[in-house]
Amino acid sequence: MNSFNSPSFFAGQTVLVLGGDGFCGWPAALRFSSLAARVVILDNGARRETDRRLGVTSLTRIHSLQERVDAWRATGGGAIQTYDIDLAENYAGLRRVLLETRPDIIIHFAEQRSAPYSMMSPEGARHSVDNNIRATHNLLAALAETRLDPHLMHLGTIGVYGYATAGLKLPEGYLKVTAHGADGRAVDKEILYPGRPDSVYHMTKMLDQHLFEFYARYHGIRITDLHQGIVWGTQTAETGRDPRLVNRFDHDAIYGTVTNRFIVQALEGRPLTIYGSGSQTRGFIHIEDMLTCLTLAAATPTARGERVRILNQIAETSSINALARKVSRLTGAEVVHVDNPRCEPEGNEFEVDRGTFHDLGFVAHRFDEILGTEIAQLGDLLCPRGEGRRSSVA
Amino acid sequence: MNSFNSPSFFAGQTVLVLGGDGFCGWPAALRFSSLAARVVILDNGARRETDRRLGVTSLTRIHSLQERVDAWRATGGGAIQTYDIDLAENYAGLRRVLLETRPDIIIHFAEQRSAPYSMMSPEGARHSVDNNIRATHNLLAALAETRLDPHLMHLGTIGVYGYATAGLKLPEGYLKVTAHGADGRAVDKEILYPGRPDSVYHMTKMLDQHLFEFYARYHGIRITDLHQGIVWGTQTAETGRDPRLVNRFDHDAIYGTVTNRFIVQALEGRPLTIYGSGSQTRGFIHIEDMLTCLTLAAATPTARGERVRILNQIAETSSINALARKVSRLTGAEVVHVDNPRCEPEGNEFEVDRGTFHDLGFVAHRFDEILGTEIAQLGDLLCPRGEGRRSSVA
CA distance B114 to chain A (A): 17
Q: Say if CB B199 and CB A188 are below 8 A apart.
A: no
Residues A322-362 have pLDDT tens digits of: 999 999 999 999 999 998 877 777 777 789 999 999 999 99
Cβ atoms B327, B263 nearer than 8 A:
yes
Checking phi first, is residue A173 left (phi over 0); if not, alpha (psi -120 to 50) or beta?
left
How high does pLDDT run on average in chain A?
93
Q: Are A242 and A69 in contact (CB under 8 A)?
A: no
Contacts of B125 in chain A (CB under 8 A): 137, 141, 144
pLDDT value, residue B390: 44
The pLDDT of residue A14 = 98
Whole-number Å distance between alpha carbons of A254 and A99: 36
pLDDT at res. A384: 63
Nearest to B171 among A176, A181, A206 (CB): A181
Write out pLDDT tens, residues A62-72: 999 999 999 99
Using the beta-carbon criterion (under 8 Å), do A178 and B178 form an inter-chain contact?
A: yes
Going from the C-alpha of A213 to that of each of A110, A196, A256, the distances in angstroms are 19, 18, 31
Distance, CA of B24 to chain centre: 6
Q: Which comes out higher in pLDDT, residue A131 or B5?
A: A131
Return the pLDDT at A341: 73
Catalytic residue among A14, A60, A157, A236: A157
Q: Which of A359, A363, A364, A299 is nearest to A36 (CA)?
A: A299
Return contacts of B296-300, CB within 8 angstroms, 24+ apart. B296/B357, B296/B360, B296/B361, B296/B362, B297/B153, B297/B224, B297/B226, B298/B10, B298/B15, B298/B32, B298/B105, B298/B107, B298/B151, B298/B153, B299/B4, B299/B9, B300/B360
Query: How far from each other are the two terminal CA atoms of chain B, in whole angstroms?
Result: 29
Extents of the domains making up chain B: 14-232+286-314+347-366
Alpha helices in chain B (DSSP H): 25-34, 46-54, 65-74, 91-101, 115-119, 122-146, 200-219, 258-267, 287-299, 320-331, 355-359, 367-382
pLDDT band at A5 (very low <50, low <70, confident <90, very high): low
Q: Answer yes or no: do A182 and B166 touch at CB < 8 A.
A: no
CB contact under 8 A, A122 and B137: no
Could you name the CATH architecture of B14-232+286-314+347-366? 3-Layer(aba) Sandwich (3.40)
Q: Check whether A387 has a pLDDT greater than 60.
A: no
Cβ-Cβ contacts under 8 Å, A310 against chain B = none
- φ, ψ (nearest 5 deg) of residue A356: -65, -50
For chain A, say whether B191 makes contact (Cβ under 8 Å): yes
Element holding B281 (H helix, E strand): strand B281-286
B169 given a catalytic annotation: no
A50-89 burial, b if ≥16 CB within 10 A, otherwise e?
A: bbeebeebbbbebbebeebbebbeeeebeebebbebbbbe
Compute the nearest-CA separation of A120 from chain B (Å): 11
pLDDT at A392: 39
- Let me know if B345 is exposed, middle or buried by CB neighbors in 10 A (0-12, 13-18, 19+): middle
Name the residue of chain A whose CA is nearest to B89's CA. A130
Give me the tens of pLDDT residue by residue for chain B, a chain 394 residues long. 345 667 899 999 999 999 999 999 999 999 999 999 999 999 999 999 988 998 888 999 999 999 999 999 999 999 999 999 999 999 999 999 999 999 999 999 999 999 999 999 999 999 999 999 999 999 999 999 999 999 999 999 999 998 777 788 999 999 999 999 988 899 999 999 999 999 999 999 999 999 999 999 999 999 999 999 999 999 999 999 999 999 999 988 888 889 999 999 999 999 999 989 999 999 999 999 999 999 999 999 999 999 999 999 999 999 999 999 999 999 999 999 998 877 777 777 789 999 999 999 999 999 999 999 999 999 998 876 544 444 443 3
- Among residues B240, B296, B233, the alpha carbon closest in space to that of B32 is found at B296
How far, CA to CA in Å, does A323 sit from each of A196, A251, A276, A317?
A: 25, 16, 14, 10
In the beta sheet, which residues pair with residue A313?
A: A228
Question: How many CA atoms lie within 13 Å of A192's alpha carbon, on the beta-carbon side?
Answer: 23
CA angle A289/A293/A295 to nearest 5° reads 115
Residue A349 confidence (pLDDT): 78
Whether A115 contacts chain B with CB within 8 A = no
Measured between CB atoms, does B173 come within 8 Å of chain A? no
Interface contact A181-B168, CB threshold 8 A: yes
**Is A326 tagged catalytic?**
no
Q: Min CA distance, A178 vs chain B (Å)?
A: 5
Q: Which residues contact B241 (CB under 8 A, 6 or more apart)?
A: B75
- Residues of A numbered 316-355 whose beta carbons fall under 8 angstroms of chain B's beta carbons: which are they? 343, 351, 353, 355
Q: State how beta strands A316-319 and B14-18 pair.
A: unpaired
Which of A144, A176, A210 lies nearest to residue B206, judging by beta carbons?
A210
> Angle, nearest 10°, between helix axes B367-382 and B258-267?
60
Question: Alpha-carbon distance A91 to A89, whole Å?
Answer: 6
In DSSP terms, A286 is beta-bridged to A232
Lowest mean pLDDT among A31-35, A193-197, A381-385: A381-385
Do A338 and A227 form a contact (C-beta atoms < 8 A)?
A: no
| CA distance readout (Å), A296 to A226, A313, A356, B151 | 11, 11, 10, 49
Which of B127, B160, B218, B351 best probes binding to A when mutated, by most A CB atoms within 10 angstroms? B218
Active site residue A201: yes
Interface touch A210/B203, C-beta < 8 Å? yes
Alpha-carbon separation of residue B376 from A362, B255, B267, B353, B390 (angstroms): 70, 22, 9, 32, 13
Helix, strand and coil content of chain B, in percent to the nearest 5, comes to 40, 20, 40
Q: With an 8 Å Cβ cutoff, are A187 and B200 in contact?
A: no
Residues A14-381: name the CATH superfamily: NAD(P)-binding Rossmann-like Domain (3.40.50.720)
Opening angle at CA B375, ends B369 and B378, nearest 5: 130
Over range A3-31, report the average pLDDT: 92
Q: Do A122 and B133 touch (CB under 8 A)?
A: no
Q: Per the CB < 8 Å rule, is B179 touching A182?
A: no
User: Which one is predicted more confidently, B355 or A386?
Assistant: B355
pLDDT at A347: 73
Measure the CA–CA gap between A124 and A391, rounded to whole angstroms: 35
At residue B350, the pLDDT reads: 86
